[in-house]
Amino acid sequence: MSDDVPERSETIRSAVITVILTVVFLIVGLAFWAWSFPDIIDTSIVGAINSFNPYVTLMIEALAMLGMFIFLSVTVINMKLFLSGIRAGWMEVISVFIIVVAISWVMFGTAVSGVTAVLSLGFVVYLYLLQE
């Protein structure tokens, strides 16, 4: 990763795109969370997917939270560099990790939050390897 600060227009465009993608993945997660309520699960998409294979629903929920983590992390890293001129440290990445895993745990429970944590740690390792 370079130490060059990107141009203002590139950073703003990148921030807008990553915020939109973060919101899209959050909306997908919220939709699956809402469709999982016991009153409507029989008539929702989650009920149909569960009748096919219940693990598919869990993976879709975990991947939605992973997408949210990836794009939220990229947004935080880029905005920290843009606003302060200092590259984001591990504190920002770990803070986003904890927030996303906590959201996943509150919305979907232990199984999905565990899968989200493992997949998100894979992305954190990828970020670490990019540094060298």
Per-residue pLDDT of 3-43, as tens digits, reads: 566 678 888 898 899 999 999 999 999 999 998 888 888 88
Per-residue pLDDT of 45-102, as tens digits, reads: 888 888 889 899 999 999 999 999 999 999 998 888 888 888 778 899 999 999 999 9
Tokens matching residue 121: 């740690």
CA–CA dist 93, 70 (Å, integer): 10
- pLDDT confidence of 2, banded at 50, 70, 90? low
DSSP 113: H
Write down the domain spans for the chain: 8-131
CA–CA dist 117, 121 (Å, integer): 6
First to last CA, the chain: 8
Q: What is the 3-state secondary structure (H, E, C) of 18-83?
A: HHHHHHHHHHHHHHHHHHCCCCCHHHCHHHHHHHHCHHHHHHHHHHHHHHHHHHHHHHHHHHHHHH
DSSP 4: P
Tokens matching residue 10: 């590139």
